[in-house]
Amino acid sequence: MENNMIYMRDIVKSYKIGKNKLTVLKEVSLEIKAGEFVAILGPSGSGKSTLMNIIGCIDVADSGEYILKGENIKARNEDELAHVRNREIGFVFQKFNLLPKYKAIHNVAFPLLLRGLGKEQAYKKATRLLERVGLSDRMNHKPLELSGGEQQRVSIARALSGGPSILLADEPTGSLDSKSGSEIIEMFLALNHEGNTIVLITHDLNVAKQAKRIIHVRDGKVLEQ
């Protein structure tokens, strides 16, 4: 497990639907090292979204072992899981999840203010992050005044704001045209080159091929790494 950012062994996750039990993940095992750029690839219903939720500490497995950066996630209660999410995971969503009434810089500064950073420091850091993703001239625009690609860049800047151990991107190009999608993937490649660990969830093989390694998920199982 040395140098592993993520270590999973025999992860099982089921849901009750009425009187029936649906097993979504079936003894999944995988390892992701610090600094890797990994795509988790699978069709709709394969279990990849459930796997993402467990990686991101949004949900917990029924059984099996999950070690995230040396921490045993199975042993954590809900408050501790929230703390791990806040500290270790930077989320990037398909639909951006930006606050529509607030400018880009406010969207990036907001989680920093929630973490207790002073206002001046928060806005200085938000400015640096937006410059880093190429939006130095778009900071004072609201989401609806930005293109889809620009909104996703704001989302990436926000995800980076807490200095997370992992960037967890759920179909980050799914709402974008091919040109904007390619630019977002280039940004992930650059961030990975800087040392960021990136886990990208996708159903698109062409997107997955941009990662350094592909983990295939089908019918609740990891087929190959």
**CB-CB neighbours of 77 under 10 Å:** 9
Q: Are 122 and 112 in contact (CB under 8 A)?
A: yes
* Residue 2 belongs to some domain of the structure: no
Give just the sign of the alpha carbon dihedral 181, 105, 163, 57: negative
* Residue 80 belongs to some domain of the structure: no
Q: Quick one: pLDDT at residue 224?
A: 67
Q: 63 exposed, middle or buried (CB, 10 Å; 0-12, 13-18, 19+)?
A: exposed
* Residue 78 belongs to some domain of the structure: no
Can you give the residue range of the structural domain that contains 109? 36-60+87-224
- pLDDT per residue as tens digits for the range 105-128: 999 999 999 888 899 999 999 999
Q: 204 exposed, middle or buried (CB, 10 Å; 0-12, 13-18, 19+)?
A: middle
Distance CA 2, CA 120 (A): 39
* Residue 42 belongs to some domain of the structure: yes
CATH code (residue 209): 3.40.50.300
* pTM across the whole model: 0.92
Distance CA 201, CA 53 (A): 11
- pLDDT per residue as tens digits for the range 50-70: 999 999 999 999 999 999 999
